[in-house]
């Protein structure tokens, strides 16, 4: 049965969520999705609540999506970027967060390059914490918006074949997607160079293959990931050209997939590397729809971690 609320004041990852909590977030997002279609894109759900967006790493989609979701829910937002802040004068993360806490925010949304930083803040602060990406660990709202997008197109996630293709090792999107998809009953296949897709991922319930044609042949969803150069400390494959020829998704490879297989990518995309430009822009690509759905999913998350009670409260109010 779908619970009426989330158990925690924080959303730190998908790993701690039950399938029922994931369903609650997706159902609430469905109710939120009409807000973006209205002329007046605003509901009073979080009026009087203060949310701090604390971004220590670059972001386009996640940051603007959270900021927009907060505005549409009528929350007051403060936006913090490490560049230009007192972090540059040597202030620690905890001192920065404690000073922000002194201004009584209800919620902190944080992206940080170090895994576990959102968990550290959640233990030390009264405010709720939402993880907007912590190193290569988790990116829970990305996995939720991906699941929402898949459910919207396929009706269900249970029983689907989902292939995640690319740099799995350094990807927080991959880890959060694996947790979400396996909890919801999908069969997950991982593919990429062996240095970036170690067999240890089989312990998370995934199939691992190094043949791209085998990975995509029966896939209902092909989720592509870019190479996370910023996290790799050594060369993981000979050249980008070789990566593209062995693992890039192009027209010839797509011809050997199910006709209704859909293409996803969390962005930013590197055209001509992991995905051909014409594939990124084709009718089977959901890439921009994922961005749109991110707004509804983040509104749902913000609403629920603030104590909201699921879709009936949105529809009733
Ligand atoms: N998908 C994603 O997290 O994109 P940004 O890094 O632009 O937020």
Nearest to 115 by CA among 171, 199, 65: 171
User: How far is ligand 1, taken at its centre, from the CA of residue 174, in Å?
Assistant: 13
List, chain by chain if needed, residues with CB within 6 Å of any ligand 1 atom: 59-63, 133, 139, 142, 266-268
User: How far is ligand 1, taken at its centre, from the CA of residue 317, in Å?
Assistant: 31
Give the pLDDT confidence score for residue 316 in this predicted structure.
55
**CA-nearest residue, atom 5 of ligand 1:** 59
Are 228 and 171 contacting, i.e. CB atoms less than 8 angstroms apart?
yes
Nearest to 276 by CA among 256, 254, 250: 250
- Unique residue bearing structure tokens 């230009």: 84
Give the pLDDT confidence score for residue 317 in this predicted structure.
53
What is the reported pTM?
A: 0.95
Q: Which long-range contacts (CB under 8 A, 24 or more apart) does 151-155 make?
A: 151/26, 152/293, 153/262, 153/286, 154/220, 154/221, 154/262
Mutate to test the pocket of ligand 1, among 230, 266, 288, 290 (most ligand atoms within 8 A of CB): 266
Mean pLDDT for each consecutive 10-residue tract of the chain (317 residues)? 85 98 97 94 96 94 98 95 83 89 94 96 94 98 98 98 96 98 98 95 97 97 90 76 92 96 97 95 98 98 92 67
Are 287 and 280 contacting, i.e. CB atoms less than 8 angstroms apart?
yes
**CA-nearest residue, atom 1 of ligand 1:** 266
Pairing between β-strand 262-264 and β-strand 161-165 as defined by DSSP bridges: unpaired
Question: Residue 104: which region, alpha, beta or left (left: phi > 0; alpha: psi -120 to 50)?
Answer: left
User: How far is ligand 1, taken at its centre, from the CA of residue 48, in Å?
Assistant: 28
């Amino acid at each position: 049965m779908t619970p009426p609320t989330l158990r925690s004041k924080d959303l730190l990852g998908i790993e701690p969520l039950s399938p029922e909590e994931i369903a609650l977030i997706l159902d609430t997002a469905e109710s939120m999705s009409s807000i973006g279609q209205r002329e007046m894109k605003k509901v009073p759900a979080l009026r009087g609540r203060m949310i701090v967006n604390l971004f220590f790493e670059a972001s386009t989609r996640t940051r603007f999506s959270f900021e927009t979701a907060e505005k549409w829910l009528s929350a007051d937002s403060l936006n913090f970027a490490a560049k230009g802040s007192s972090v540059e004068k040597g202030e620690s993360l905890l001192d920065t967060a404690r000073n922000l806490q002194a201004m009584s925010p209800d919620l902190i949304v944080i992206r940080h390059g170090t895994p576990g930083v959102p968990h550290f803040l959640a233990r030390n602060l009264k405010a709720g914490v939402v993880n907007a990406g912590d190193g290569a660990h988790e990116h829970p709202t990305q996995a939720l918006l991906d699941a929402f997008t898949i459910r919207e197109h396929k009706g269900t996630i249970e029983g689907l074949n989902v292939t995640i293709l690319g740099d799995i090792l350094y990807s927080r999107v991959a880890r959060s997607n694996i947790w979400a998809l396996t909890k919801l009953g999908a069969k997950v296949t991982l593919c990429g160079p062996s240095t970036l897709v170690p067999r240890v991922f089989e312990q998370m319930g995934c199939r691992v293959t190094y043949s791209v044609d085998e990975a995509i042949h029966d896939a209902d969803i092909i989720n592509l990931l870019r190479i996370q150069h910023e996290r790799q400390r050594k060369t993981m494959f000979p050249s980008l050209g070789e990566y593209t020829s062995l693992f890039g998704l192009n027209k010839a490879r797509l011809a050997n997939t199910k006709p209704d297989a859909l293409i996803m990518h969390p962005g930013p995309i590197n055209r001509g590397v992991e995905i051909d430009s014409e594939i990124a822009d084709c009718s089977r690509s959901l890439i921009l729809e994922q961005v749109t759905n991110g707004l509804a999913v983040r509104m749902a998350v913000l609403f629920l971690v603030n104590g909201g009670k699921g879709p009936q409260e949105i529809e009733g109010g």
